[in-house]
A and B are shown apart, each in its own frame.
Chain A
């Protein structure tokens, strides 16, 4: 099976299209579609559980008892057993028993310090490998920021030779999985929103003295024999700190600030800088959206000052978009059958866009938003709307909307007279959309879809043909080249895991989708 491209990003400055397929990043030329370079995220070995290990051992023993095997193999088996014993011991002494990923040797000790955890909800890419969940190019395409889910790492790349070369500048492992990223301070700071509800700010480029420890080569060098002792000392120190109880010890070995936090999973983050009142310097705000229907407006960098909340959604909020043509407004969408346009400064709703009928027109089923009703879900009568993406085409003042499992893109145009988003048009796709990247110069956009058939396209392209018309240019040579390269990336695992973990994970944020809760 081909791996669908779960993330797309277009960098106008270098004219490159970045495609993420699982843990593989491919960088294409926007004009010719030639593959310029690629990178793959390190895959962590999945640790077998004790039960599995025992079963494996038993099987081996059985095989040995059955005899007819060569001595050499038996010896090998013994060696394996010894090795396993060692591993077991190590496992028992390790403070992070619950980590499912075996990272004992390869990673620096501090990665194991995350002890803030409650059980991670589903939809976090478990079992899909170390996949790329966010991509962003900053500072006119000089740097690329990539977030991977399994190792919870933020990587900053330098884009060299016009996109033909990607150089990892730093790797920073965060305590929790990252859900969304944004930038601040003229793209010199990255804001990281995580699953635990916290937002950290980190400098795009770590200070030179920190850099040595954050580059991938340096991380490998710490695995030298003496590192074991070092790691033990680190563990002891951490245990002591744990006992102190008056600190949340994150011990991230790089500059970071805990900016703000929700007691809820964060789903999206946006930052915006607007001019201050007369004679004051511009002010930056951070907007954070969570699973409990909140959109919070905080000051930046004083994240402890909350300006207010945009309250009006009835289900989780999964996407925030601040259109460039009016930075005082905010478009938000999530698990509701409507989008909201806000004046986020005064936290007032300017417009409520009903999308239920639009979606129903494409899928031909009754559509609803809000909480999942068990009876309705079982009968499979009602389709629950989930916004997976909001994008803008600045030159046309258009907002593009995609919904989970709805094979279409919906286009709204900003109406000058009423300053509303209106005139929806529907662009049909061949498969369910995953991500979209806009080329503002064209204007054009690419959409990655889950191929409907084995031969179906994984990425489609549309060009603006004037008078609000978008035409498909999916048959272009450039796209054929992209398709050929992306088709080489396969996925051999469980399809259900891939779907729930990575491709259709947003809808799982809906309340009531899990097992019914025990009321205590």
Chain B
């Protein structure tokens, strides 16, 4: 009599076993500033961008409380009237990573662009929570050097609420790394790049600012390239222009998806565009 095959070992997210909650609420880990483990924050890869979700978002950029994200740069109101050291720095977020996932890009860029405020934006709650924990731990670990104070993460649906978060011309760089390809034609409006969304990226991006895109799906690359190329406010940057750009290198090698594609020997397609001045009229 053949015995039944042994049960397949499955990766446990710990949702059912309670390990997930245990890991997340582990005070010891938090005190020791240990990095959170990704496996306890797994979530399905797709979120419906058309759904209302239960999103909290500011009604306008003026309502955005940056002090929660960058306490070093935006001291809270109570501290503001204290000594000179806690004065607002006058800096604002300049780099947005749209769909930051597990935060590989901003964590890596934090050291490379130490004086630039960067915000990762992610629609999935679990994943956002992971990045939050990760940044928290990194800040504690590097408390002496004061590193990682310039990056943060926000749960947001950027397709709907980008203008609620950023003022016109606020950003100098937008990253769109390994977005959801939405293969089906009827899902194309759900893609993060579309002719009409390009206008919103142009709105928050200052003239001269750059949009970086990378994907391992050639079809999607062509799609994104077509729509940014066709958009009157964007100019494609040539390969030579990108050679010395540290961001491109980071995007290729340090994003979680980038690493995965590397392991699977997949190809990566990079394309960047510079925002033009608004035309005269």
Q: Which residues from chain A sit less than 8 Å from chain B, CB to CB?
A: 115-118, 196-198, 242, 245-246, 248-249, 258, 260-264, 283, 292-294, 296, 298-299, 302-306, 308-309, 311-314, 511, 517, 519-520
Contacts and interface: CB of A to CB of B under 8 A. Distances in A.
Contact of A517 (B49, B51, B125): B51
Nearest to B192: A263
Nearest to A519: B54
Contact of A304 (B52, B60, B168, B233): B233
B60 A312 contact: yes
Interface string B25-37: 0000000000000
Q: Identify the 3 closest CB pairs spanning chains A and B, nearest first.
A: A261-B196, A311-B60, A263-B159
A311 B219 contact: no
Contacts of A511: 52
Contact of B202 (A258, A263, A306, A519): A306
Interface residues of B, number: 46
B50 A246 contact: no
B186 A308 contact: no
A299 B195 CA distance: 16
Contacts of B200: 306
Contacts of B232: 302, 304
Nearest to B233: A304
Interface of A is mostly: loop
Interface in B159-176: 159-161, 163-164, 168
Contact of A245 (B189, B195, B199, B219): B219
B188 interface: yes
Nearest to A314: B59
B199 A308 contact: no
A245 B200 CA distance: 23
Nearest to B195: A258
Contact of A115 (B44, B164, B186): B186
Nearest to B217: A245
B134 interface: no
Contacts of B233: 304-305
Interface in B223-237: 223, 226, 231-233
Given A246-B219, A305-B279, 8 more contacts: A116-B189, A198-B196, A258-B195, A260-B196, A302-B279, A303-B199, A304-B233, A311-B164
A311 B59 contact: yes
9 contacts: A118-B48, A198-B196, A246-B219, A248-B188, A260-B196, A260-B199, A294-B163, A306-B199, A312-B60
A517 B157 CA distance: 15
B218 to A, nearest CB: 10
Interface in B68-116: none
B140 interface: no
A261 B194 contact: yes
Contacts of A299: 281
B47 interface: yes
B38 interface: no
B277 to A, nearest CB: 11
B16 to A, nearest CB: 16
Given A116-B186, A304-B233, A283 B163 contact: no
Interface centre among A118, A245, A260, A517 (most CB of B within 10 A): A245
B260 interface: no
Contact of B53 (A246, A293, A519): A519
Contact of B188 (A116, A260, A298): A116
A100 B232 CA distance: 39
Contacts of A118: 48, 50, 186, 189-190
Contacts of A198: 196
B199 A304 contact: yes
Given A242-B185, A283-B281, A304-B199, A312 B50 contact: no
A232 B186 CA distance: 20
B222 interface: yes
